[in-house]
Amino acid sequence: MAIVLLKISSLKLVKIFQRGVIPSRIKYLRRYNMFKRLMAILASLTFTGISFATELAGAGATFPYPLYSKMFSEYYKLKKVEVNYQPIGSGGGIQQVINKTVDFGGTDAPLTEKEEKAAKDEVIHIPTCLGAVVLTYNLPGNPTIKLTPEIVVDIYLGKITKWNDPRITEINPDYKFPDLGIVVVRRSDGSGTTFVFSEYLASVSEEWKTKVGVGKSLNWPVGIGGKGNPGVAGYVKQTPGAIGYVEVAYA
């Protein structure tokens, strides 16, 4: 799930509460879908005193960026308000919200208790969309293969290092795997996609849960890092034998 973060102590939102805009919008918003909810709140942010702003700044998760890019483009056509969203990763988006350098942030993981304390002021979490984290790989012939949860865990723990490992070939009898090393690709930045992926690995493996854990940034046992979903997808595409995790739109 992708989330938009709004810090209610920002100057623009303080003025909104003083003018009583947010309370009057709450009943109205319940009738609309997630997109219209987000757009209505972002529209409220355009008030600065008695004048209108024509630009909003946001930063954060790369996971929902393909959707946000389209949404904000359409919103500009309708309202002539430009939303400048930088896909720098969930961790970066959260930090910029804490530092008050953007109007809103995007993240795939909710703020931790520590992050909420660092923000000092209340941060509103607004769910915007759902997506899937998937594995993408680079093998000759672009085959469709199967990998069990246990195999995926052991690949990311560095225990399985070859594509022709018996555990992989046994469940994929229709494909002749090359004697090719597995190049593990993961995120180098603070990432909500990493949080989602590591949460899954921890749910299927006690070893992963205790040795590596769950989070937006991890002490990875193996692998090379790519920045954002595009960075991971790029590494996998250009590296024979690579495997990485990305939001499905990037696979």
Taking only the tens place, the pLDDT of each residue in 184-239 is: 999 999 898 999 999 999 999 999 999 999 999 999 999 999 999 999 999 999 99
pLDDT more than 90, % of the chain:
61
Query: Higher confidence at residue 218 or residue 48?
Result: 218
Q: What is the mean pLDDT of the chain?
A: 83
Assess whether 95 and 151 both reside in one domain.
no
Average pLDDT over residues 169-174: 97
Assess whether 87 and 157 both reside in one domain.
no
pLDDT-based confidence at residue 54 (cuts at 50, 70, 90): confident
Query: Higher confidence at residue 47 or residue 94?
Result: 94
Assess whether 73 and 21 both reside in one domain.
yes
Assess whether 23 and 124 both reside in one domain.
yes
Assess whether 113 and 232 both reside in one domain.
no
**Residue where a domain terminates, one of 129, 161, 179:** 129
- pLDDT tens digit sequence for 110-139: 888 899 899 888 888 888 888 889 999 999
Kindly tell me if the per-residue pLDDT of 47 is higher than 80. no
- pLDDT tens digit sequence for 15-30: 222 233 333 333 333 3
Assess whether 66 and 22 both reside in one domain.
yes
Assess whether 19 and 110 both reside in one domain.
yes
Assess whether 74 and 141 both reside in one domain.
no
Of 49, 66, 45, 19, nearest in space to 126 by CA: 45
Assess whether 124 and 68 both reside in one domain.
yes
C-alpha dihedral sign at 131, 137, 143, 145: negative
pLDDT of residue 121: 84
Assess whether 138 and 111 both reside in one domain.
no
**Residue where a domain terminates, one of 76, 97, 129:** 129
The total number of structural domains in the chain stands at: 2
Distance CA 177, CA 205 (A): 26
Assess whether 145 and 227 both reside in one domain.
yes
Kindly tell me if the per-residue pLDDT of 177 is higher than 60. yes
Domain range enclosing 107 = 2-129
H/E run at residue 212: none
**CB of 94 closer than 8 Å to CB of 60:** yes
Domain with residue 140: its CATH number is: 3.40.190.10
